[in-house]
């Protein structure tokens, strides 16, 4: 099976943390996650805890806040687009 990805996904390495945080707005609780892989346009995340994952949220990783949309979800693993 060939993949037709525009961007290559990379696993976090070196000085970049593989931990991130998800929040829908300022009043919502923060959801911890682990970055499985990422590209310039999206990421694959493992979600910790049992809170419901919103369809749109902000993702904080490496000191950068990005607006995200969930593209797919399988259990507690989600694919997001920035």
3-state SS, the chain, equals CCCCCCCCCECCCCCCCCEEEEECCCCCCCEEEEEEEECCCEEEEEECCCCCCCCEEEEEECCEEEEEEEEEEECCEEEEEC
State percent of the chain over pLDDT 70: 80
Asked if the structure places residue 32 within a domain, the reply is yes
pTM for the structure as a whole: 0.76
Confidence class for position 9, pLDDT limits 50, 70, 90: low
8 inside domain: no
Q: How many domains does the chain have?
A: 1
Q: Is residue 10 part of a domain?
A: no
Residue 54 lies in a domain: yes
Q: What digits encode the pLDDT tens for the residues 20-59?
A: 999 988 888 899 999 998 888 899 999 998 888 999 999 9
61 within a domain of the structure (yes/no):
yes
Confidence check: pLDDT of 12 > 60: no
User: Which domain covers residue 43, as residue numbers?
Assistant: 19-81
């Amino acid at each position: 099976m060939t993949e037709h990805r525009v961007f290559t996904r990379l696993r976090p390495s070196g000085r970049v943390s593989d931990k991130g945080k998800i929040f829908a707005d300022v009043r919502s609780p923060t959801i911890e996650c682990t970055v499985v892989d990422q590209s310039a346009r999206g990421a694959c995340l493992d979600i910790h805890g049992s809170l419901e994952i919103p369809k749109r949220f902000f993702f904080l990783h490496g000191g950068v806040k990005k607006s995200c949309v969930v593209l797919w979800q399988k259990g507690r693993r989600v694919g997001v687009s920035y």
